[in-house]
Structure 1
Amino acid sequence: MPDLPDLPLSPDDRETYRAVATDGAPVAGHDVARLVDLGLIAPNPDQDGRFIAHDPRAAAQRVLAQVQATIAQAASCMAELPSVEGLAPAYDQHRWYSGPVSELLQSRDEMNRRIQQALRTASEEMWTAQPGAPVDRDPEVQRAGMDRVLELRHRGVSVRSLYNVAVRDHGPTAGHLAAAVEAGAEVSTLEETFPRLVIIDNTHLFIDNCVLPGDKDAGWHVTDRATVAWAHMLYQQLWARSTRWQEGDASSEMLTERQKAILRALEEGEAQHQVGPRLSLSDRTVTKELATARAAVGAQTVYQLMAWWGRRQAEA
């Protein structure tokens, strides 16, 4: 690609051109190289040290032609970029690819650092799903987690945590989660299988490394809007089917997680025929689950069942 002319002109260049145009003599001490290169002046073959001024309009047209040729060449080059990028599949098929909207983080520590970094600017939500069985954790780790909940809630950030239902029978974890609820976090449990994930502000998504399922330490940081929005919707569906922490002691021995999810949907104003689509259940399944729930609590109608449910929630 050709070099473009050396512009703009300096004040000295302009003064020198005016001097040459007047009497052929440049201003003493001023460099004339730029003016000569642009074709604005040329050495006078009959007088050493003197110059002849040329029409600046003609010089401007030459510069314009050079610029237009350069633009045309650049446009032609840009038109070929897709064919260059089209070679990517040949590169990617032999490598694990981390694109601009997803990044592979190689270790659990790296994942935690990136999550903490995203939380520093969080303003709306931190939603987590932890499907693993409960384990005895270092009290310092639990205290750090509680400090994070308190700090996020102080900033007005919604904190939701979804756990395997087994945590209710694990004393240390149950105590920690009860304290988190007291601090303003929302905690729920779910009997069914669900993926591990963290969503921050519907902008950052952290997931396990499903590309290599055996690698339990690595994970992905995803910022693609469509993917994060999809995970956000999935989380809301899981949350709708889960049992709030406060509800567990009140009715867990009588109703299943699915039945409680149906009752919560009805309690929130959904008509019975709307519950199925919300929970990904058929109308027949909803009707059957309500009948089983009525039998479990001794209610003759759905209205009686809902009255029982309301009393249980008030007691909890």
Structure 2
Amino acid sequence: MPDLPDLPDLPLSPEDRETYRAVASDGAPLPGHDTARLVGLGLIAPNPDEPGRYIAHDPRAAAQQVLAQAQATIAQAVACMAEVPAVEGLAPAYDQHRWYSGPVSELLQTRDEMNRRIQQALRTASLEMWTAQPGAPVDRDPEVQRTGMDRVLDLRKRGVSVRSLYNVAVRDHSATSGHLAAVVEAGAEVATLEETFPRLVIIDGAHLFIDNCVPGGRDRDSGWHVTDRATVAWAHTLYQQLWARGTRWQEGDASSGMLTERQKAILRALDEGESQHRVGPRLNLSERTVTKELAAARAAVGAQTVYQLMAWWGRRQAEG
């Protein structure tokens, strides 16, 4: 893009105005006054027949010339500003090789603001949308549920991983339970957890949405949009740990009432190939706790050994 043109040499000084009036009257400028600005603006021109004297030009024509120059400059400035998003769009290439990024968080004052910003991030999502909803289940407007289902279908069509972690109480809430069963049928993953966990949304490992826990927050529905790489990566790791301890939606009916959420998480880890002494670090449990929980699980299902317990678990998963 070419350099912006210079703007006209304005404003006029009181002496400039007096000199123009003098030239318009008899062709003679004020004694000792520099006429360069008036000449540059086209208001006066040297008189070729009388050195030292000037000819006045129509100021309306000069004004139109000034306006045309200013408009051309504004048009070029607007075109330049329109390219700013493209320049900022290069930031991921810069940040990719560094351990920091640009502006790291923004407070969104209301739930509507939060939802709008989440929708903006989802428009370009290509990897994942992971959510954690710790609240008790509530009766939702069917239209809201349909909108949520449409979002899941759109994301899954684009190959985006969709995971949702809920309070275990949703399994006993018929409206929510039916909706989540349909979400799972659409290709999303749903799990429930008995323990307390924070509300959050992670999109593509780049956007984190969390509740406003800053003291003095006036609106309980306000929250933060965080883009700091380290913080989002930490939340991503936390989510994976919570997910590992949860019970997948399909597994809920197979063993509910017999095993606790923690016991199910331990069996799932063993079923995925983890050795017993590595299950503890994965689930943030001590080895003694893992042994104790396995013993309780064996007693619950009538198994004498861990091998029998895992055989029972495998059969129940196949049945589910």
Query: Scaled by the length of structure 1, what TM-score is found?
Result: 0.68
Give the C-alpha shift of residue 217 in structure 1. Answer: 1.0
Runs of 4+ residues over 3 Å off in structure 1: 212-215
Match of 2:301 among 287, 297, 312: 297
Q: Deviations 1:106-165 (Å, cap 9, x if unpaired)?
A: 000000000000000000000000000000000000000000000000000000000000
Give the conservation status (yes or no) of the 8 Å contact 2:109–2:219: no
Question: Over the residues paired in the alignment, what is the CA RMSD in angstroms?
Answer: 1.2
Match of 2:230 among 201, 226, 230: 226
Instruction: Number of aligned residue pairs: give it.
Output: 219
1:272 — aligned with what?
Answer: 276
2:196 — aligned with what?
Answer: 193
> Take 2:182 and 2:141, find their aligned partners in 1: how far apart are those partners?
16
1:118 aligns with 2:121: yes
Match of 2:250 among 246, 253, 267: 246
Match of 2:130 among 127, 135, 145: 127
Match of 1:281 among 263, 277, 285: 285
> Take 1:155 and 1:103, find their aligned partners in 2: how far apart are those partners?
28
Q: Deviations 1:214-270 (Å, cap 9, x if unpaired)?
A: 632100000000000000000000000000000001101100000000000000100
Q: Aligned with 2:191: secondary structure?
A: strand
1:137 aligns with 2:127: no
1:179 — aligned with what?
Answer: 182
Q: Aligned with 1:266: secondary structure?
A: helix
2:155 — aligned with what?
Answer: 152
2:169 — aligned with what?
Answer: 166
Q: Which runs of 5+ in 1 are unaligned?
A: 1-32, 34-98
Which AA in structure 2 matches 1:209? N
Q: Which runs of 5+ in 2 are unaligned?
A: 1-35, 37-101
1:38 — aligned with what?
Answer: none
1:206 aligns with 2:209: yes
Which AA in structure 2 matches 1:170? H
Q: Aligned with 2:187: secondary structure?
A: coil
2:79 — aligned with what?
Answer: none
> Take 1:117 and 1:275, find their aligned partners in 2: how far apart are those partners?
38
Q: Aligned with 2:314: secondary structure?
A: helix
> Take 1:191 and 1:198, find their aligned partners in 2: how far apart are those partners?
19
1:308 — aligned with what?
Answer: 312
Give the conservation status (yes or no) of the 8 Å contact 2:126–2:158: yes
> Take 2:106 and 2:198, find their aligned partners in 1: how far apart are those partners?
18
> Take 1:303 and 1:156, find their aligned partners in 2: how far apart are those partners?
37
Q: Aligned with 1:188: secondary structure?
A: strand
> Take 1:305 and 1:199, find their aligned partners in 2: how far apart are those partners?
35
1:259 — aligned with what?
Answer: 263
Query: Scaled by the length of structure 2, what TM-score is found?
Result: 0.67
> Take 2:179 and 2:238, find their aligned partners in 1: how far apart are those partners?
26
